[in-house]
Amino acid sequence: MEMRPVGHARTPFGDTAEVPKGHGTRHEAEGVLEILPEFAPGLQDIEGFSHLYVLWTFHRAEGFDLTGVPPTDDRPHGVFATRSPRRPNPIGLTVVQLLRVEGAKLHVRGVDMLDGTPILDVKPYLSNVPESELRRGWLAEAEARRR
């Protein structure tokens, strides 16, 4: 399966070490999703959505690990139970808040990808999981252990 960028992210992060991660991280950084001119018509009516899913590639990741110790814990977990960049398919997923649209530039809050990251897709965020049903597995346990 071949994928191609539909745009690139402009973010404050030049290196993975600069991206906030780990416990209690809040992604408040602002950035711009620059959609390529040829795909700009696909943005019609996007301004009405408060939040968007952004699919992108961990373009600096090479290879993958099926288990690993995430920054939020001191124990290993399976890659599909973490947000590790070293995934079989290195696709990142971020929910961002849409601040404003300027032509083919989406100004957003909540970026956590590197500057220059290729964007694969943008989708509207439509609904939440009921809070009463949400369980956060090992992450909630790791947080509890730290308290």
Among the listed residues 20, 21, 95, 103, the single contact to its own copies using CB under 8 A: 95
Task: Write down the least CB distance from residue 110 to its own copies, Å.
Answer: 10
Terminus-to-terminus CA distance in the chain, angstroms?
44
User: What does the alpha-carbon distance between residue 43 and residue 47 come to, in Å, rounded to a whole number?
Assistant: 8
User: What does the alpha-carbon distance between residue 77 and residue 129 come to, in Å, rounded to a whole number?
Assistant: 23
CB atoms within 10 A of CB 22: 9
141 binds its own copies (CB under 8 A): yes
> Coil, helix or strand for 30?
strand
147 binds its own copies (CB under 8 A): no
Q: Which is nearer to its own copies, 32 or 55 (CB)?
A: 55
The footprint of its own copies (CB under 8 A) covers: 1-4, 6, 35, 39, 41-51, 53, 55, 57, 66-67, 76-83, 87-89, 91, 93, 95, 97, 118, 120-129, 131, 133-141
